[in-house]
Chains A and B, each alone.
Chain A
Amino acid sequence: MTSKILLNIPRLCLRGILHPVINTAGPVCSCRHLTSDVASQQNVIQNIFTRKEKDEHSKIIFRTDVTNPGDHEIRHEGLLYTIDRGIFRRISSDDCFNRFKIQVRTFQEACIMIRKPALEVIHAMKNFDPNLPMPKFILYGHLGVGKNMTLLQTMHYAYMNKWCIIQTPWPQQWIERYTEVSKSTHKPGRIDLPMEARAFLCQLKSQNGIVLNDYKTQYRYDWTEREATEIGTPLIELLKFGLQRVKFADDVVGALLKEIKLLASQRKIKVLVVADGINGFFGPTRMKISDKAFKDTEQAKAGTGFLPTSDLSLIDNFKRLLEPDMVNSICVATVDSNLIPKVNRTDTITPQYLLGREGFAALDPFIPIHVTNYSDKEATSMMEYYTDRRWIHKESGKTHEGRKQLMFLSNNNPRELFKVCTTM
């Protein structure tokens, strides 16, 4: 059936619509460092979309000099602030914030946008009840929407206020990409990942070097007949022991977390528990029991199937932090649809669906926080930043028309916006 009815329907070229307009003149003003009078400048940002005269020079503020995350307020929303590179290096360990690290190397500064979800968490971190169990903030949202950057901002706040930060790596590191497997020395039936535990200890050391120096152990740990950690040794010594004797690294992690939990309950330190993709820690792992590595373990008796996450001592130690007797601390975590097996993956991003029944039972009651795409204001100020850092350097990318098209193409998704701007 090839017949068509034509009733005054104009046939147009649809693909031509996305063509950038290059001829429209009007350079947009470059970066300005200003801190005062932010409110009036925000009006300018809002007005950029109602502006009609293209030749008019606009002054857009996209940065703030307030670098302490504790001082940020809602009026700073949509502005960028710079994290000291030394601090950033300490906070971000080997395998975290990889995409952002590339950006930092390119732009030669660690600059992130102040956004509402992070402000919300920091607000809670400032005035939470230390006597109640740990409140858990679960960030959810589509891919590339800025969940990780929210984590970074909260971690920055915690670091600046000398909190103890416990950050788990991307769960696939523990449940899938293991390097070495051994039987647990502490409890039969558990499985240790010594290399992963060592990496985790390294990270703890770089993030909490100062905190761990100040406090001492309150339990005694016997490792072998000869080796033991007495009561009153500094925590950093315990940590160093774990780094030296990789065999006991998993147990050292458990001991350290236990000590930190005790310190928190004694109101000596505040703890921030950070987990990117927390839903990966529930349900089965991707480790096949039939694999050679599990030959001598107890799990091998089952023969087939995947190893449950609760059998890994690292994950078990981490889950103890989530129990209700953990006080004077806050947990910030994200849920990620990438961690669900590809067969079951859908567009749903909501926390309960992604956590599953087991995860929901472990984490409930939690506080869900939706991380959304950029608003128009935020996208504009981000593009202004890119222009300042020369990521956008073509004239067509600096015009009002061009920016509108960039926003349209990326749907204001932060990751997509960065990608789309690479061609500009």
Chain B
Amino acid sequence: MTSLTVKKHAFCSRFFVACSRLQYSSSAEKVQEQGQKENFRQLKIVGVHEIKERIQRTRFQRVRQPPRHLKMKVDQDWTNVWPTAHSFKWSVVPFPVRQGHVKNLAENEGMIPEKYGNLELMKIPNFLHLTPIHIKKQCQALKELCTPWPEGLEGNEINRLFPLESQTNDYCFASNNIRDPRARNVTVKFNVGNLKLTKAAKRKFLHLVGDRYDSVNNEVTLTSDRCPLKAQNFDYIMYLLTVLYHESSVKEAWEDEITLEDMSRIPWKLSSSRKNLVKMLAATNNINIKDENLTEEDQEKLKQLDSEVDEKYKTYKSTVLNLVNQGETKTNIENYKNSVLELMNLPKFEVH
């Protein structure tokens, strides 16, 4: 197979040479024909013949302007230079900036490339159209479209009269589709104090709401984007709020069976600290709690102690509860320590 193709190739090349020769001969003939019609071209020698000077046509060369940033003044208005979002233009940006990566010393002398024609800089988004002056200007322009705030609704009055605050966004475009999926989102905020809830119900409500509750300003924020339309989303949130309210006031049967281990906050009545305190007071009054055959007098005294504990040792009670329920912060530990020192009748160690 191979030998065959080679032969074929040789044949082809030979054929081509022959053809080209033919062409050559035919063009030579044409020249001869022309020469017969006109004279031969004369050789003209400088000094002997008069030679017309050839007009050299100079090409028009555009003078390249220096980059724009060199001409910029220090106090120019940047909003005019860079009015809208645009990818990076090296000639317009006046400050030096480098971006990119060099592999070794040979590439760009080991230096990271400058801004001139730097593609890496064009790839990344820039915020040169969002300077403070830009925003100020745009706000000024928008101000004309706003209406003044209604009178008498300043401060807390608005929260009282309008406890629900809903927030939606509208978007406008210059493209062929004017819809934006974000426009359907609805956010509703309200103060928990405005709901009429009992103590237990409120605790349950906050459990249900979870991290949507902000303890700093006692507010709950509900957002929805599950329905396609804005109005539907708003209705859904209203429904949600109703369900939450009613669900939180329900009391289940198992709630009476809660033990100490299940509680997130330990109440004073059930805490070990209270038991210890009673034991301690009993011991100082020479009553042995473990003793089964307590005299009636002792038992009465014990009851009296038990009832007095809550009132007498208020500081200790509050510090212990803080320590157990809020966590061991520096101040909580310090307060606990001071209250125990007081309880134990120990002098404080003070540094002068």
Contacts and interface: CB of A to CB of B under 8 A. Distances in A.
Contacts of A367: 337, 340-341, 344, 346
Contact of B283 (A119, A120, A324, A351): A324
Contacts of A353: 328
A129 B345 contact: yes
Contacts of B112: 4, 6
A323 B336 CA distance: 20
B333 A3 contact: no
Contact of A365 (B97, B276, B347, B349): B276
A5 interface: yes
Contacts of A133: 280, 283-284
B344 A132 contact: yes
A124 to B, nearest CB: 5
A351 B279 CA distance: 22
Interface residues of B, number: 36
B349 A131 contact: no
Interface in A348-366: 348, 350-353, 357, 360-361, 364-366
B186 interface: no
A357 B324 CA distance: 10
Nearest to B351: A74
Counting chain A CB atoms within 10 Å of each CB, the highest count among B273, B277, B279, B280 belongs to: B280
Counting chain B CB atoms within 10 Å of each CB, the highest count among A120, A135, A360, A364 belongs to: A364
Size class of A's contact patch? 35 or more
Contact of A132 (B273, B284, B288, B320): B284
A224 interface: no
Interface in A303-332: 323-325, 327
Given A365-B277, A365-B316, A368-B333, A6 B346 contact: no
A360 B320 CA distance: 11
Contacts of B341: 367
Contacts of B100: 3
Given A324-B279, A361-B276, A129 B344 contact: yes
Nearest to B111: A6
Interface string A85-118: 0000000000000000000000000000000100
B273 A365 contact: yes
Contacts of B279: 323-324
A351 B340 CA distance: 15
Given A129-B344, A324-B279, A6 B98 contact: yes
Contacts of B333: 350-351, 368, 370
B336 A368 contact: yes
Which 9 A/B pairs are nearest by Cβ-Cβ distance?
Answer: A361-B272, A350-B328, A324-B283, A120-B349, A129-B345, A324-B280, A365-B340, A2-B101, A135-B344
20 contacts: A2-B101, A3-B99, A3-B100, A3-B101, A4-B101, A4-B112, A5-B98, A124-B346, A124-B347, A127-B346, A132-B280, A132-B345, A324-B283, A350-B328, A352-B323, A352-B328, A361-B272, A361-B276, A364-B276, A366-B340
Interface of A: 2-7, 74, 116, 119-120, 123-124, 127-129, 131-133, 135, 323-325, 327, 348, 350-353, 357, 360-361, 364-370
